[in-house]
Chain A
């Protein structure tokens, strides 16, 4: 039984544009292994999908947008031949160069938008035995050279009270409360946590929970126009139960890898992020305050 494996030299598998992706192809077999050639393919693409909510079920089904290829080339590792019994390691190096007129966006796994990079190794074999294939994903991260963003960042103070609420039907049902706080910055380095603090100054009703919600807003452009969808990435509870009044509660959230990337805006699609501060009352009524944020990578 022969197996095929690909191992990258960097354990965290993170590369940036212009890097050389180096690694080894490991073939193990019990006996001599006859093959019809080994090829390696580097592939990177943005896949877009329309959500059923914004464009209708049928369109969503049929009109899935064509993926945008950012990088795609293959190279022959070995001509047809024979590999000796045991473990064979074939090293390889691939420069990470995008297709002309394309940039390598950062790896991102979303709901409607995916930016994914992979290395695929194929071993063709004779008719009698199955071809061997192995695909691994690697990650692209780009450090921005633009340092201006950092300087633009400033703290966002906020106050939530019945008066600040919009989108409520009966004002009378809303309990009296006042919650003050701030987010340390509106422009955030993706490798550093979101920080801030929050204080319940007063609240008539019992609080059940206070949560910080990270939301992605994915916008896809297509012939019919734009489809914009906001979905939750993660929800972090920062207060549990009826917290003490007048006590500063820290806001702290680490951005999950893969599911976040620096805020991105291109011709065809856009990826934005927002933060929601959610206060859940004992009777399960909730109050949400929304903050758009900009993620960057220094």
Chain B
């Protein structure tokens, strides 16, 4: 086989460029822009404000290209109204979520505003708050035997012989009335399981048409509510059991609705009742069934089950008549007076209000009497009956009173919702007259609109002071008031007196848990309304209270929330860090994980709120310390996401620090940062990028003419990059950064540095593993590498040879490396084809592009024949390599690859080679035929290639191109 020789076609890039240049047009519209007619002036303004805020959402993963200084014409026409950045803008400007944020549910019930906290929200908080380790008992006959079997089989329940016997006996018993039994010694979890089972049993019974059984279950459940033997669990029990009752009520209602198909006048087709039916639409049979339910329930002997079950199916009154709701609710309301135990009574009232507000939100007449009843029966708490139970269960009065809170809160919330200030005053007046009690005051404060409370905060402070000392713990009051005042600001002149008054009492709290609960809430108040001095005092006080005996260790969540609250409201970081108590406060977080969390909170807030770059040494030092803490927490076991998050935060910090024109200081900051954050790839990448930016900035300042000093500085920058890059773990990042830093160095005329970067990159190539994992996915490295090398080659064109080394020293080095690179794909050949293209450019008299103020090889060698000969030598070797590879691709499976590679080479020859040389001409033609030979090539691609050759022929006016076109047969396939 004859060796082919490569002849590059001499080209004049300037002419070509001019010929192919399209005249630019001013863009008038952006393809992504929404089609709207906008007032020009307005958009301008918007754009101006946008540009300020746009800096915010920049994520650290964006790699800034220091070489690009061209303005994107599209973004220019967009005038800042890029839909994407707008989207991120609107999402970042979402209001910070307050205390009551999840009330969507209540929107559907009219008559209530969105501050109404629905039961479902309350439920879970009650369940977590009111729990017990006492043993509970349940009395029922409806736990199916199979369930009991299951219970018995559970490994943790100790089954004794008696248990087994009892189990069997239970299985024998049916659900007769007589089989009611008490299950004793249940743990809370067991109890909850039992109640769940009851719930399931109820639904099962209902589905099997055993309605009487379902009713019995409902009755038995509500009976459990009369039992106050384990007081601390009562609120939770209430939640669990009313859930069952709700289910029951829903089942009854749905069943009736299903039954109540009616036949509208004038048609014979039965219709389902519409959702907002009137009682006249309900057929008699359904009414009868409904009445039967109420009759049945009215005959329940005991008061509490009768009350609860009727309340549960209260909604069914809508089948009977319109008026009944109000009557029934009022009747049920007075019925609760018969309940002696104040706790049971208030919860019964609470359930009534809960159901009432759901089915008839506009009916509110009963709520106030409920409350008044409660006030008048409040004295019951002091009675023997209650005192005895308390003594028996060893519960103190203050604790007992907190059990009332959920129900009372709900009651007052129902009253307070959409109420006027007058209602508040009425309620206050009544409560004060009857019993000036902290429990009531607490619920009132939390129920009414914070605005109302805030506007008379001094009055409340007084009330708190006056309220009975005995009973309800006062610090809870302080806390609730604090929550209110955080949501709504009190009048200006009351702010300081309120704080003084409250803080006085908070300081006195001895129990650290009480103390921190209050302090946590009031910190936000202080941060919101007061300045540096007050915040510092508060922090100092918290430190003072929390330090003895290292109690802070038990209250990390609260302390953390203090930090979060400070962070929410303070945007001035230099002020924050200049507080002499802030860092000591952070020091209290001794446990590493908590400490890191706190650091994260601070950094997040910093990244979000600090818009302007800063160089305040206080901030820099403090944040450096905080970031270092975060960085040091990263170890081999850290999750990827965690690592990423920390990296992002630190990168954000690095970006925000700017010393303006003081580049040296900036560099030394980066040096320090590198020393501190060695473990995080992302941060190091960020640092290298920043240093490269710095280097480019320097160049801009001196307009490309470096003085001695700036020259030294940019070399220092290059040195920084050169020693930072190798410490990265990711090979691809290393490669990219080497190339980038090399380009920057070249731009700054640091030739030897640039050389070193490129050398380093080349010698790194063999080390790149074949498989990369990117974002958790496996990828082959060759396509990535191929792209990279192509990019690299185009840079190499501008790099002048080092006089000490040989001709095209770097390129040869790259080829040598590739030579030894083993690959079973067309990787090498593809690159060789690209190298051929580059080498063709190298042979030209003048290169297509240059680096500003850098002489490339064209001016260095001036197309010296010896140089060109050398280059052509390399070309020929490469061509041979490629052709050999082409030859080896003759097996059936590889034909497709062969034709692709052949076409690629053909294109390269046509564009870069000299087809006037007969050998090249023949080679091109052969390749063309080879590509088509097996019918494996992409027909679109070949057509495009043909068109390109035709165009060349037309433009260049070279005979051979025309010949080539004529000889190129396009294999048409049917």
Interface residues of A (CB under 8 A from B): 11-12, 193, 206-207, 210, 234-244, 246-250, 252-254, 256-257
| Contact call B376/A241, Cβ cutoff below 8 A | no
Q: Give the residue name and chain of the B residue nearest to A253 (CB).
A: B298
Residue of A nearest to B340 (CB): A241
Verify A206–B344 contact, CB threshold 8 A.
no
A240 touches B339 (CB 8 A): yes
Interchain nearest-CB distance for B384 vs A (Å): 7
**Besides A240-B304, A248-B337, 7 other CB < 8 A contacts?**
A239-B339, A240-B303, A240-B340, A244-B380, A247-B376, A249-B334, A254-B298
B373–A240 CB distance below 8 A: no
Contact indicator A247/B377 (Cβ below 8 Å): yes
In the bound complex, how far is the Cα of B337 from the Cα of A11, in angstroms? 37
**Which B residue sits closest to A235, measured CB to CB?**
B301
Q: How far is the CA of A206 from the CA of B304 in the complex (A)?
A: 19
Q: A206-B384, A210-B338, A250-B334 are known contacts. Are A240 and B295 too (CB-CB below 8 A)?
A: no
**Contacts A11-B285, A207-B340, A210-B338; is A242 near B385 (CB within 8 Å)?**
yes
Verify if B226 is at the interface (C-beta below 8 Å from A). Answer: yes
Contact across chains for B337 and A249 when beta carbons are under 8 A apart: yes
Please give, as numbers and ranges, the residues of chain A lying within 8 Å of B335 by CB-CB distance. Answer: 238, 250, 252
The A-contacting residues of B in range 301-353, CB under 8 angstroms, are 301-304, 306, 331, 334-335, 337-341, 344
In contact, B301 and A237 (Cβ under 8 angstroms): yes
Q: Taking A11-B288, A248-B337 as contacts, is the C-beta distance between A241 and B299 under 8 angstroms?
A: no
B379 touches A244 (CB 8 A): yes
Nearest CB of A to B177, in Å:
16
Q: Given A240-B338, A243-B338, check contact A234 B301 (CB 8 Å).
A: yes
**Contact partners of A237 in chain B: CB under 8 A:** 301-303, 306, 338
In the assembled complex, B938 has its CB within 8 A of some CB on chain A? no
Residue on B nearest A241 in the bound complex, by CB: B340
B284, CB-defined interface residue at 8 Å: yes
Cβ–Cβ < 8 Å partners of B383 in chain A? 242
16 contacts across the A-B interface (CB closer than 8 A): A235-B301, A236-B301, A240-B339, A240-B340, A240-B341, A241-B385, A242-B384, A243-B337, A243-B339, A244-B379, A247-B337, A247-B377, A248-B334, A249-B334, A250-B334, A253-B298
**CA of A247 to CA of B434, assembled, Å:** 14
Q: Are A250 and B331 in contact (CB under 8 A)?
A: yes
- Cβ contacts under 8 Å, B339 to chain A: 239-241, 243
Q: Which residue of B lies closest to A238 (CB)?
A: B338
Residues from chain A with a CB closer than 8 A to the CB of B294 are 254
Q: Are A243 and B303 in contact (CB under 8 A)?
A: no
Inter-subunit contact A238/B288 (CB<8 Å): no
- The answer for the CA separation of A12 and B298 in the assembled complex, in Å, is 19
> How far does the Cβ of B667 sit from chain A's closest Cβ, in whole Å?
80
Contact A257 B295 (CB under 8 A): yes
Q: Give CA–CA (A199, B335) in the complex, Å.
A: 13
Complex CA–CA separation, A247 to B378 (angstroms) = 12
Residues of chain A lying within 8 A (CB to CB) of residue B304: 240
- Which residue of the partner chain A has the closest CB to B285? A11
Q: Which residues of A contact B334 (CB under 8 A)?
A: 248-250
Cα–Cα distance between A288 and B376 once the two chains are bound (Å): 27
6 closest cross-chain pairs (CB), A and B: A241-B340, A239-B338, A254-B298, A244-B377, A237-B303, A11-B285
Is the beta-carbon distance between B288 and A244 smaller than 8 angstroms?
no
* Chain A residue with Cβ nearest B284: A11
Measured in the bound complex, the distance between the Cα atoms of B303 and A252 in whole Å is 11
Task: Give every chain B residue within 8 A of A11 (Cβ-Cβ).
Answer: 284-285, 288
Across-interface contacts of B331 in A (CB, < 8 A):
250, 252
A237 to B299, CA, bound (A): 10
Chain A residues contacting B288 (CB-CB under 8 Å) are 11-12
Q: Mark B600-621, 1 if CB is under 8 A from A, else 0.
A: 0000000000000000000000
Q: Are B344 and A244 in contact (CB under 8 A)?
A: no
B284 cross-chain contacts in A, Cβ below 8 A: 11-12
Q: How far is the CA of A133 from the CA of B285 in the complex (A)?
A: 25
The one of A235, A236, A244, A253 in contact with B337, judged by C-beta atoms closer than 8 angstroms, is A244
Closest chain-A Cβ to B386's Cβ sits at a distance in Å of 9
CA distance A207 to B379 in the complex (A): 16
A240 to B304, CA, bound (A): 8
Chain B residue at minimal CB-CB distance from A210? B338
Taking CB atoms and an 8 Å cut-off, the chain B residues in 608-665 that contact chain A are none
Q: A118 to chain B: closest CB distance in Å?
A: 19
